[in-house]
Structure 1
Amino acid sequence: MSTVDADRLRVWQALSEFFLDTDVDLSFDGVVQRLAQSGYTPDQVQSILWNEVYPVLHSNLQSMAGEWAGWSDAFLEAHLVVRPYSPGMPARGRIGAEISRCWDEVLTRWARLKTS
Structure 2
Amino acid sequence: MRFSAGELETRRPLWIALSDLYLDTVPDWNRIAGQCARSPFSIAELQRILFDEVHPVVHANLWSVAGVWQGFDEDWLVASIVARRRRPLFRLPWPEDRRYPWRKLKPLIIALRRHPERES
TM-score, normalized by the shorter chain, greater than 0.5? yes
Query: Identity over the aligned pairs, expressed in percent?
Result: 31
**Which residue pairs with 2:11 in the alignment?**
8
The alignment yields a C-alpha RMSD, in angstroms, of 2.7
Query: What is the distance in 2 between the residues matched to 1:114 and 1:38?
Result: 10
Show structure 1 runs of 5+ residues with no match: none
* Residues 46 and 82 of structure 1, relative CA distance in 2, 3 Å threshold: farther
Structure 1 stretches of at least 4 aligned residues deviating more than 3 Å after TM superposition? 89-92
Contact 2:18 2:50 in 1 (8 A): yes
The aligned counterpart of 2:69 is 68
Pairing partner for 2:23 from 20, 23, 32: 20
Query: Equivalent residues in 2 for 1:58-97 (5 A)?
Result: 58-81=59-82, 91=92
- Larger radius of gyration between Structure 1 and Structure 2: 2
**5+ long unaligned stretches in structure 2:** 116-120
Aligned length: 104
TM-score normalized by the length of structure 2: 0.74
Paired residue for 1:31? 32
Distance 1:41 1:91 in 2: 22
Residues 79 and 110 from structure 1, CA distance in 2 versus in 1: closer, same or farther, beyond 3 angstroms?
same
Q: What SS is found at the alignment partner of 2:99?
A: helix
Residues in 2 aligned to 1:90 and 1:38: alpha-carbon distance in whole angstroms = 25
Query: 2:106 — aligned with what?
Result: 107
Larger relative contact order, structure 1 or 2 (CA cutoff 8 Å, min sep 6): 2
TM-score (norm 1): 0.76
Which residue matches 1:40? 41
Relative to structure 1, is the Cα distance of residues 46 and 37 closer, same or farther in structure 2, using a 3 angstrom cutoff? same
